[in-house]
Amino acid sequence: IYARPVNDYLGITELTDNVGLPVNEVLDIGGWDIKKALKLFLKSNSTLYEWLQSPIVYLGDSLFADDLRKLMPEYFSLRAGANHYLSMAHNTLRDDLQTEQVKLKRYFYALRPALACLWIVEKQSVPPMEFQHLRVMISDNKVQNAIDELLEKKKIADEKALIAPVPLLNQWLSNTLDWCKERIPALPSEKKYPDELNNIFRKHIQP
């Protein structure tokens, strides 16, 4: 997340509001202008809420990040977040985990959002970003053991490693997503107002 000089925001010219570098098998680099980021925060964009929880920070403005972190519980839409993670996990399970050989990393692309969705439905709070904190939602020891086996394989595998599907995990994913889908409509979905975010914007573009 970056901020331009204050004068850039006072003109009529539309500004580019993101930066990105080509994605390869190792790097996935992108960024948003502060105004875009705050608009997305208002809309409960899950990627931004995850960025704010990342344990890895190469360079950061702790004051800006802390201002947003304080507002996360208030601004996060439980229903929007749960629907986002439900869709992500469902699409990965359907599209990437049904063939004779599947990419190992794709299991975590399904498991993490499924667990985040389950967290939201059960705990009604912002889900943590880190997988080890999310997996406490799993009470089945067999499922936990299957995940441990995948984590061990992941330690020595490259990004393209293939494995046979794990029926136990596929079934757990399917059951969990169906269970969550039934309960998401009952989650609160309150409209939030941008006043506090406008104040943060003005505060952090000041020279």
90 and 150 both lie in a single domain = yes
| Non-local CB neighbours of 131 within 8 Å, separated by 6+ positions | 108, 111, 112, 115
pLDDT digits (tens, 9 = 90+) for 176-207: 999 999 999 999 988 899 999 999 999 999 86
154 assigned to some structural domain: yes
178 and 89 both lie in a single domain = yes
CA 186/CA 54 separation, integer angstroms: 29
Cross-strand pairs, 31: 19
107 and 180 both lie in a single domain = yes
83 and 161 both lie in a single domain = yes
96 assigned to some structural domain: yes
198 assigned to some structural domain: yes
pLDDT at 84: 98
pLDDT digits (tens, 9 = 90+) for 133-157: 999 999 999 999 999 999 999 999 9
45 and 100 both lie in a single domain = no
32 assigned to some structural domain: yes
Contact yes or no for 27/38 (Cβ under 8 A): no
Helices (H) and strands (E) in the chain, counts: 9, 4
CA 198 to the chain's CA centroid = 24
194 and 159 both lie in a single domain = no
CA 11/CA 86 separation, integer angstroms: 40
- Residues of the domain holding 174: 78-186
Q: How many domains, in total, are found in the chain? A: 2
30 and 127 both lie in a single domain = no
Q: What would the two tokens of residue 38 be? A: 């705050």
Overall average pLDDT of the 69-76 stretch: 97
1 assigned to some structural domain: no
85 and 59 both lie in a single domain = no
114 and 65 both lie in a single domain = no
